Chains A and B, each alone.
Chain A
Amino acid sequence: MNTFFQVTLADFRESVRAKWFLIYSLVFGGAVILLFVLGVTEARVMGFTGLSRLLITYIQLCVAILPILILISTVRSVVGDRESNILEYFLSMPISLGAYFWGKILSRFFLIFIPISTALLGAIIWGMVKSLSIPWQIAGYYALLLGTLSWCFLGLGMFISTLVRKQEWGLGLSILIWLVLLLFIDVILIGLMLQNQIQESVIVAVSLLNPIMVFRAGAVLLFDPELTSMGPASYVILDNMGYYGFLAFTILYPLSLGWLFSWLGFSRFKKGDLV
């Protein structure tokens, strides 16, 4: 266990010094600051204003950019260490494969989650300073949603990292997967519906396999409990799961997916040549 925490701490120290972490932190911290500066809290959408309005915009930004940022930064974990011979050196020390792999995942989770949650917390604190009304329920749920989505794409990124032998392939595969997931939110599914007259419930079920879709729906759910913005799909979802069932699904499904990909990555990692 000591080795596991030592690896987590060592990887955290290594990654904090890397440029990608700085850029990543600036993107999300800067986004919140920009939203305040642009007066987003003054605008009104669907009846929401103030900090709620800002949080909704922030989470929509995260839907757009968080998955690809996580994938790009994570996919270089194992394959990058392999290419640079860091893996050869660290695995010549008495470190178990489990301690190395899971220590790296935990470190990366902290690195991904701390900036985005700090930005969220910063927004709340600034809202308190400005005497805005604090939507604690939305903030808490969004923090949970960000955490579970981070875990999902972190697991996927680590899995890709164990599949490929070069960083370029990993980056290419990450971008391809992200594009497919984005396209499957609306474009491809609408096309399928129109062309093949597939049963609506099947289309909705397929769309809900997409973690980005789940994240988007979850972001909408708290301020649109009837999911009216999702059109007829809302009937299928709410009839089958109910409001609280779907709320739980938006958290548990990406979390489970993240664990599944992480385990697949670890199995792949320890069954092959390590370097």
Chain B
Amino acid sequence: MIKIKNLTKKFGKTPVLDSINLSVKRGDRIALIGQNGAGKTTLIRIILGQYFFDGELAVFDKNPRHHRVEILERIGFVPQLPPPIQMNVGELVTFSAAISRKSSIDDIYQKAAELGLDIGKNVKKPFQKLSGGMKQKLLIALALAGQPDILIMDEPAANLDPQGRQAFFLQLIQSLEKTTMLLSSHRVDEIINLINRIVEMDYGRVVQDEQIDQSHFADKMLACRVTLTKNHEAAIRMLKDWGFKNVNGGLELEGSFIGAERLRFLTSISHFANHIQKLNIS
């Protein structure tokens, strides 16, 4: 669906993307991760046909800059920050449905309802006055209603609080089982259950491109024992959030979690790697 070969992008003399090679096939659900300035948003904008570039890029076998409209009819995009649109919700929904050949107002209402947003109750409300979560849900509903072949989301939960992010991704998991996705995020642990591939970028290059296979342990319970080096409050709190309990009142905690969650657990605990003496999963 997307083929990228030796793609380079410079702003002035500064290279932002440097010889990127990547391909996205149907069914890929990619987490595009990396620090600020790694080039994630630039890559997304090039795929959307918003930047010129050097190298080769084909989206559905076409150049996205020369065949913008054709390609964008098959892509759904959710930006990192909701744009400061002055229209009210009803007007935005009507506009989006009118622009797209594949979505209707009813489709948008339905998609929003699946994500927990009642458009009917907010139709006269200015888009700007919605909460951060509601804005993101509406933008996702607008993107999904067009039945996109690829859904691209740039840090879709960046402006949500932790509780909001968790609920948001849970709902996405339920709604997007079979959609091809490119999902840019700082936090792999939040989106790990959505994805089957991780592409990591650093200084404009792809430094990691790994498939994730969760099938082996997905439905099995895994027992885990963690020994800390000291009484670290934050680490203990995190483990207790996972249902862990102290063993003998000391620095050992034990618990269990389902196999599908193991990458999310490991990502969470990696923040406290300096304070872990021993970690055992079986």
- Judge: A and B partners, yes or no: yes
Q: Which residues of A contact B (CB under 8 A)?
A: 2-3, 6, 9-10, 13-14, 17-18, 84-86, 88-97, 272-275
Contact partner, B50, options A3, A14, A91, Cβ 8 Å: A91
B62 within 8 A of A: no
> With A10-B95, A13-B86 given, can you name 10 additional A-B contacts, CB distance below 8 Å?
A14-B86, A14-B87, A17-B86, A84-B83, A86-B84, A88-B50, A89-B85, A90-B83, A274-B50, A274-B51
Instruction: Return the CB mask of B57-70 against A: 1 if under 8 Å, else 0.
Output: 00000000000111
Instruction: Return the CB mask of B84-98 against A: 1 if under 8 Å, else 0.
Output: 111100010001101
CA–CA, A18 and B86, complex, Å: 8
CA–CA, A2 and B100, complex, Å: 11
Q: Of A9, A13, A89, A91, which is in contact with the most chain B CB atoms at under 10 Å from its CB?
A: A89
**Contacts A6-B98, A88-B79; is A94 near B86 (CB within 8 Å)?**
no
CA–CA, A274 and B49, complex, Å: 8
In the complex, the chain A residue whose C-beta lies closest to that of B81 is A85
CA–CA, A85 and B52, complex, Å: 18
Determine if B100 and A93 form an interchain contact, defined as CB atoms under 8 angstroms apart. yes
Determine if A91 and B91 form an interchain contact, defined as CB atoms under 8 angstroms apart. no
Determine if B72 and A92 form an interchain contact, defined as CB atoms under 8 angstroms apart. yes
In the complex, the chain B residue whose C-beta lies closest to that of A90 is B83
Number of A-B contacts (CB under 8 A): 74
Determine if B48 and A92 form an interchain contact, defined as CB atoms under 8 angstroms apart. yes
CA–CA, A17 and B85, complex, Å: 10
B45 within 8 A of A: yes
Instruction: Return the CB mask of B30-52 against A: 1 if under 8 Å, else 0.
Output: 00000000000000010011111
In the complex, the chain B residue whose C-beta lies closest to that of A85 is B83
- Residues on A with C-beta less than 8 A from B77 are 89, 92-93
Q: Of A2, A10, A14, A92, which is in contact with the most chain B CB atoms at under 10 Å from its CB?
A: A92
Determine if B83 and A88 form an interchain contact, defined as CB atoms under 8 angstroms apart. yes
- Residues on B with C-beta less than 8 A from A88 are 45, 50, 79, 83
B112 within 8 A of A: no
In the complex, the chain B residue whose C-beta lies closest to that of A80 is B84
Determine if B69 and A95 form an interchain contact, defined as CB atoms under 8 angstroms apart. yes
Contact partner, A89, options B68, B75, B83, Cβ 8 Å: B83
Q: How far is the CB of B151 from chain A (nearest CB, A)?
A: 12
- Residues on B with C-beta less than 8 A from A94 are 68-70, 72-73, 99-101
Q: Which residues of B contact A (CB under 8 A)?
A: 45, 48-52, 68-70, 72-73, 75, 77, 79, 81, 83-87, 91, 95-96, 98-101, 126
Determine if A93 and B79 form an interchain contact, defined as CB atoms under 8 angstroms apart. no
- Residues on A with C-beta less than 8 A from B84 are 84, 86
In the complex, the chain B residue whose C-beta lies closest to that of A271 is B52
In the complex, the chain B residue whose C-beta lies closest to that of A10 is B95
CA–CA, A90 and B100, complex, Å: 12
CA–CA, A41 and B48, complex, Å: 58
**16 residue pairs from A and B, CB less than 8 Å apart:** A6-B95, A9-B95, A10-B87, A13-B86, A14-B87, A17-B86, A17-B126, A84-B84, A89-B77, A92-B48, A93-B96, A93-B99, A94-B72, A96-B69, A97-B68, A274-B50
Determine if B83 and A86 form an interchain contact, defined as CB atoms under 8 angstroms apart. yes
- Residues on B with C-beta less than 8 A from A91 are 48-50, 68
- Residues on B with C-beta less than 8 A from A90 are 83
- Residues on B with C-beta less than 8 A from A86 are 83-85
In the complex, the chain B residue whose C-beta lies closest to that of A86 is B83
In the complex, the chain A residue whose C-beta lies closest to that of B143 is A92
- Residues on A with C-beta less than 8 A from B87 are 10, 13-14
- Residues on A with C-beta less than 8 A from B99 are 3, 6, 93-95
In the complex, the chain B residue whose C-beta lies closest to that of A15 is B86
- Residues on B with C-beta less than 8 A from A96 are 68-69
CA–CA, A90 and B49, complex, Å: 12
Q: How far is the CB of A145 from chain B (nearest CB, A)?
A: 32
Determine if A275 and B79 form an interchain contact, defined as CB atoms under 8 angstroms apart. no
**Contacts A273-B50, A273-B51, A275-B50; is A13 near B79 (CB within 8 Å)?**
no
Q: How far is the CB of B101 from chain A (nearest CB, A)?
A: 8
- Residues on B with C-beta less than 8 A from A17 are 86, 126
CA–CA, A88 and B69, complex, Å: 14
- Residues on A with C-beta less than 8 A from B50 are 88, 91-92, 273-275
- Residues on A with C-beta less than 8 A from B126 are 17
CA–CA, A92 and B83, complex, Å: 12
Q: How far is the CB of A213 from chain B (nearest CB, A)?
A: 37
CA–CA, A90 and B68, complex, Å: 12
- Residues on A with C-beta less than 8 A from B83 are 84-86, 88-90
Determine if B79 and A85 form an interchain contact, defined as CB atoms under 8 angstroms apart. yes
CA–CA, A89 and B140, complex, Å: 12
